[in-house]
Amino acid sequence: MPTSTLAQGGRKPAARKSPAIAGSRSSTQSLPTFEDVRNRADAAREANQLSEAINLYRQAVQRRPTWEEGWWYLGTLLYELDRYEEARDAFRRFVAIQPKGGAAWALMGLCEFRLREYDLALQHIKRGRLLGLGDSEQLIFVTRYHAALLLTRAGQFEAALEILSYFARTLPNENPSVVEAVGLSSLRMPLLPAEVPADKRDLVLQTGRAAYHQYARRLADAEKEFQEIVTRYAETPNVHYAHGVFLLDAKPEAAPDAFLRELKVSPSHVAANLQLAFIYINAGEHAKALPFAEKAQALAPGSFVARNAIGRVLLETGEVTRAIKELEAGVKLAPDSPEMYFALARAYSRAGRKQDADEARANFTRLDKIRRTERDGAQSVGGAIETKPGTAVPD
């Protein structure tokens, strides 16, 4: 609708020129332009008059809906005032205009986290981190932390710990919130910190401190904490598993006993079976590995990690055709897993299928880069602890 029509309340002005109409035209000409509103909005923002700035930015984007900077400032100001639903909607408008704006995707995800839209939050935070968050250390920190919380809630514990370990390696002092998040992931509890039962909080915090020491390379402190934990909570599920993960790093020869103790407490513990399978695979003891891999697959038929373990055992014992079948099934279960393509490339190569092996290697390289970017952010690919394909237990 033309501006003159708006000034007339939606009515078309009469053709006859009269003083009243002349006055109306004068009023129309005095309406603020987009540039006027934008300048006033910027001035209010710079003066920290947030409510006034929000009102003016709303007016500006109404006048020019494709003004991405306006949607950005509107979203960030609303976020600063904890008005998360409105902020989320502003960031949605921004990314519709600028889909490669990683910071906006991340902030939209943080709003969704506050609104308890957790699945969307994880999806959008991941996308933001893949695209890059710029050089804002605060945004990078907050986004990493919330990505780890959401991964833990989704049961992707190893992925969460890979992110959280960054804090232990880089922060000069322990952050209590990070310690708690590390504890939840280490104990494989798919909860947010606010959801931890009161009778589990001490265990979560102590386990978090122990694992935090581990990632900070204070291994003696970590061992002391873990010894207290396994003594005090000997019959609690996942305690011996967390200790076993520490021992894989600090005293690999002692790790199998810890995972076996976990299986006494939790006979159906899929991850403990898989850890034992991979320990024996990496030691070349394939006959010992196979029962644990098969038990894991029986407990979790949809586990691509179990397929990975079984396929690798079969490959190393000369059953190449069966190995390929297991590994191809694993790829179908997890087409975004670099570990699966790494193992499958080796199997194809062993079978003399060069073209298939080259394709699998290319997929491994592509997916491994994505994995490292999701873990460390686009700013620091390659900067975190590296994991040899197949030695960790992905979720």
Q: What is the DSSP secondary-structure string of 236-286?
A: STTHHHHHHHHHHHH-GGGHHHHHHHHHHH-TT-HHHHHHHHHHHHHTT-H
Average pLDDT over residues 121-134: 95
Longest dimension (CA), the chain: 100
Q: How confident is the model at residue 102 (pLDDT cuts 50, 70, 90)?
A: very high
pLDDT grade for 24, boundaries at 50, 70 and 90 = very low
Other Cβ atoms within 10 Å of 382 Cβ, number: 9
- Average the pLDDT over 70-92 and give the result: 98
pLDDT at 14: 35
Separation CA 321–CA 303 (nearest Å): 20
pLDDT given at position 50: 96
**pLDDT tens per residue across span 324-372:** 999 999 999 999 999 999 999 999 999 999 999 999 999 999 999 988 8
- Mean pLDDT of all residues belonging to the chain: 89
| CA-wise closest residue to 305 among 347, 276, 284 | 276
Long-range contacts (CB closer than 8 Å, 24 or more residues apart) made by 313-321: 313/277, 313/281, 313/286, 313/289, 315/343, 315/346, 315/347, 315/350, 316/281, 316/284, 316/286, 317/286, 320/347, 320/350, 320/351, 321/351
Instruction: Count the neighbouring beta carbons within 10 Å of the beta carbon of residue 112.
Output: 24
> For position 377, what pLDDT does the model report?
61
Q: How far apart are CA 277 and CA 328, in angstroms?
A: 19
At residue 279, what are phi and psi to the nearest 5 degrees?
-60, -45
Spatial contact of 392 and 282, defined as CB atoms under 8 Å apart: no
pLDDT at 32: 86
- Tokens read off for 305: 């990690």
Residue 389 has pLDDT above 80, yes or no: no
Helix (H, G, I), strand (E, B) or coil at 83: coil
Q: What is the pLDDT of residues 251-310, one digit of tens each?
A: 999 999 999 999 999 999 999 999 999 999 999 999 999 999 999 999 999 999 999 999
- The 3-state DSSP class for residue 332 equals helix
pLDDT at 30: 67
Average pLDDT over residues 159-163: 94
DSSP 8-state symbol, 30: T
Residue 59 has a pLDDT of: 96
pLDDT of residue 67: 97
pLDDT in tens, 287-302: 999 999 999 999 999 9
User: Residue 174: which pLDDT band, with cuts at 50, 70 and 90?
Assistant: confident
Rounded to an integer, the average pLDDT of 97-112 is 98
pLDDT of residue 1: 41
Say whether pLDDT at 29 is over 80. Answer: no
Give residue 41's region: left, alpha or beta (phi > 0; psi -120 to 50). alpha
Which domains are present in the chain?
Answer: 33-135 (1.25.40.10), 272-379 (1.25.40.10)
Q: Are 149 and 193 in contact (CB under 8 A)?
A: yes
Distance, in Å, from the CA atom of 155 to the CA atom of 189, rounded to the nearest integer, reads 8
The whole-angstrom separation of Cα 42 and Cα 46 is 6
Helix (H) or strand (E) holding 72: helix 68-80
Contact between residue 273 and residue 293 where contact means Cβ atoms under 8 Å apart:
yes
Helix ranges (H only) for 81-200 are 84-97, 102-114, 118-131, 137-153, 157-170, 176-186
4 pLDDT above the threshold of 70:
no
> pLDDT band for position 171 (50/70/90)?
confident
Alpha carbon distance 91, 75 (integer Å): 6
C-alpha span between 141 and 162 (Å, rounded) = 14
Confidence (pTM)? 0.83
